[in-house]
Structure 1
Amino acid sequence: MTDGITDGVAGDASIGRSSSADGHDHSAARSVPLWNIANILTLFRIALVPVFVAVLFIEGGHETWWRVAAWAVFAVAAITDRYDGRIARERGLVTDFGKLMDPIADKALIGAALIGLSILGDLWWWVTIVILVRELGVTALRFWVLEHGVIPASRGGKLKTLLQVFGIGMLILPLPTPLHWCAVVVMAAAVVATIVTGIDYVWQAMKLRRAARRAS
């Protein structure tokens, strides 16, 4: 969803505190409320995941109108991801809770969609496994290098997320055969972007740790 769902959140880790023109840190002077619009949108996205799964599997998972309804739930959840991070940054509502829960919400939504489509036979299991392993691996990398710095979000990661969202959305819809093959092409591109950006994140993590060792 987006390294905009999964990778874009990393940029938030460096935004949580602000400084005034005198160079002093005034983050402690301003308390950000936990219950703010950005965090509520994130929690709303998490709440939509079981709703999406339930709707996806109604009538065996292949009834046209229920698939359209499942797509609508998925689309709403994806849209909340587009705006919760932006609202948090623009309104100064970045919190540790949001930085923790936003990637969890993203991975829960994408993971549920991938696994659900694979169970229904609409997506190869190897595609689901490759994407999930990459997403979990990047999360582990972030924790591995967290004490040394933050791996910034990349354009490739954002493109990967966009392709995943569009590919999954198209596979959820009961499209006619020609358009279904368009969905397959988009999903194939998403897999390629997933692998390439995953390799890039490994490289960035290694560079960050090497730089930290040299500095110490």
Structure 2
Amino acid sequence: MNDRTRDAPPPSNWNLPNALTVLRILLVPVFLVVLLAEGGTEPTLRVWAFAVFVVAMVTDWVDGALARRWDLITDFGKIADPIADKALMAAALIGLWMVGTLPFWVPLVILVREFGITVLRFVIIRWVVLPASKGGKIKTVLQTVAIGLMLLWVPVLIGLPAIGVAWTVVAWLAMTAAIIVTLVTGVDYCVKSYRLVREAKAA
């Protein structure tokens, strides 16, 4: 790192990655309105809810990639990005429960883990910063795929009943895998946090 890079002012919060993060937050209520309309049983609205969810998840990938590539990582982005991610996942899981696609225990288990780890990060930040793990990224992918399959479950059952059973099995396999990885990575984060904090205190 040269002196010019070291002395450069921090990037402005007014940038494209942060704008995409804000867009993702704004899409959360739009997604919920579309999903919950007509009790979640109208196939076309479920497809639209799926489309909004996909757009929101794409912004999650794009804003992070742009922030790293253009060196536009800001304090606002560090705070707003995980809030946007958690808000979208919570809205999707709770919304799917409200329309009867998921039983209550599924969003309960996943969200307790998600928000529990977020709280843990804030608690230990005075000693260490808990980095994201490869397992955490796999967890996010599995959750995204499972939610996408669940969102399209009603349109498939009504429009393509011949593959409805297979779709249901695949969707639940994906959701089961997401739940297992979510719990395993949650335990792993707790163990790593304990070890890192103990080492930081000893040092």
TM-score (norm 2): 0.92
Letter of the 1:143 counterpart? F
Letter of the 2:33 counterpart? A
What is the aligned residue count? Answer: 194
Give the match's secondary structure for 2:108. helix
2:6 corresponds in structure 1 to 26
User: Runs ≥4 in structure 1, deviation > 3 angstroms?
Assistant: none
Deviations 1:120-176 (A, max 9, x none): 110111110010000111101111111222112111111110000000010001232
Q: In the TM superposition, what is the alpha-carbon distance from 1:177 to its structure 2 partner?
A: 2.4
Give the share of equivalent positions with the same residue, in percent. Answer: 50
CA contact (8 A) 2:135 2:181 kept: yes
Which structure has more relative contact order (CA 8 Å, sep 6+)? It is 1
Q: Does 1:83 align with 2:62?
A: yes
1:115 corresponds in structure 2 to 94
CA contact (8 A) 2:127 2:201 kept: no
Deviations 1:18-71 (A, max 9, x none): xx246x9825x3231111000000000000000000000122211111100000
Question: Cα RMSD over matched residues?
Answer: 1.4
2:20 corresponds in structure 1 to 41
CA contact (8 A) 1:145 1:208 kept: no
Give the match's secondary structure for 1:57. helix
**Structure 1: tracts of 5 or more residues without a match:** 1-19
CA contact (8 A) 1:114 1:168 kept: yes
1:59 corresponds in structure 2 to 38
- In terms of fraction of residues, the more helix-rich structure is 2
Quick one: distance in 2 between partners of 1:130 and 1:211? 30
Quick one: distance in 2 between partners of 1:77 and 1:33? 23
